[in-house]
Structure 1
Amino acid sequence: MKMVNRALLFIYTLVLMIASFLILILPLDLNILPIEEVVGFIRFLRGNYILSILAGLLLILTFLHLILQLRPTDRVKEGSYLVLRNDYGEVFIYENTIIGLTNRVAENFIGIHNIKVKVSFVEGRVKLSLRGEADHEINIPETSMELQKKLKDHIENTTGAQVSHIKVEIVNTISNNRNR
């Protein structure tokens, strides 16, 4: 939580504590706060616009704080991950790591372009789903199998995680002038 939000929360909590305390003791008639002084304070508030402005600012800050707490966080979504255990501890392999490795192989691959990657982890293994466009003159099954093999080898050698399944979907064919 940011420092400004903490300060606002502190001020708001302090005001609520004081108000709650006053509401708690007024009905008990303990003479800690005589009713005449409370009425006098309320009469003092009547023409005091500075206190009204301060109360309005506190109300606006409260709404801002509430909105800041309810909106989605600015942090990058970490996503799911795979935990690999070894003799020294644990290694976490995040979804974005696998996507980056896949994109690296796909950038240098000839025949399939504009590849979109989805990653899931099933039973401690990596499962990939790729969607892309193929050059119209290639053999799609052979080229897809070559891409699958390169991806499997690269991910397993780089991360140590086992790749269980790589699904390749060719959604379109493109001509040579659009190649990378």
Structure 2
Amino acid sequence: MAKILDRFMLFIYSLSIGAISIVAILLLSGVIPYDLTFDQEQVLFLSCIITAAVLLLMSIRFFYISIRRDRTTTNSIDQRTEYGDIQISVETIENLCLKAASRVRGVRDLKARIKVSQAGLDITIRAVVDGEESIPALTTEVQKQVHDFVEDTTGIPVSGVAVYIANVVQAPSFKSRVE
């Protein structure tokens, strides 16, 4: 939501600066003559102060956006060991989950999602199964494989592995041709 508001503010800011620049160029070049009465001068002066204040506030906001650190780029899990710090990206852990789950026979089209909590990693595996084996036994095996593999490989505790079976693959039926 903040990004949409910032983009809208940037659009208005750019439009305002462009319009003010065009009017200033036309006034200073003499293309637009200007003879104002005292009342018109006061209204123009007040509107210029309000416009300048709004543009100043928007400039401060854009300056802040340009110098702040982006918090979304550090999408990793940090660990401290006796030898130093370790950072493992969430994408790496997702790939490890997919590698472990693909070792289980009967699962296909795997997708993994990782959530980091205080208790450890919450892993969700989405899979399509072939339907030739028991789904509870298959999902239990996937959970065990993923849990053990990720904990052994990364050293990060896994608090839970949820398996979502999205569908069952239909075996292709081949019709024999008789000639």
TM bin (shorter chain): 0.5 to 0.7
User: For the residues of structure 2 that align with 1:78 and 1:140, how far apart are their CA atoms?
Assistant: 38
1:168 maps onto 2:178 in alignment: no
Aligned pairs (5 A) from 1:1-180: 78=73, 80-123=75-118, 125-177=120-172
Unpaired runs of at least 5, structure 2:
1-27, 32-64, 66-71, 174-179
In 1, Cα distance between equivalents of 2:147 and 2:73? 23
The answer on whether the counterparts of 1:78 and 1:94 sit within 8 Å (CA) in structure 2 is: no
Asked whether the 8 Å contact 2:129–2:169 carries over to 1, the reply is yes
Q: Residues 177 and 107 (structure 1 numbering): CA distance in 2 closer, same or farther, change over 3 Å?
A: farther
Q: What SS does the corresponding residue of 1:90 show, helix, strand or coil?
A: strand
CA RMSD for the aligned pairs?
Answer: 3.0
Question: What is the TM-score of this pair, normalised by structure 1?
Answer: 0.52
Query: How high is the TM-score relative to the length of structure 2?
Result: 0.53
Separation in 2, partners of 1:118, 1:79: 17
- What is the SS of the residue equivalent to 2:152? helix
**2:151 and 2:116 mapped to 1: Cα distance?**
14
Gaps spanning 5+ residues in structure 1: where? 1-41, 47-69, 71-76
The alignment-based identity, stated in percent, is: 26
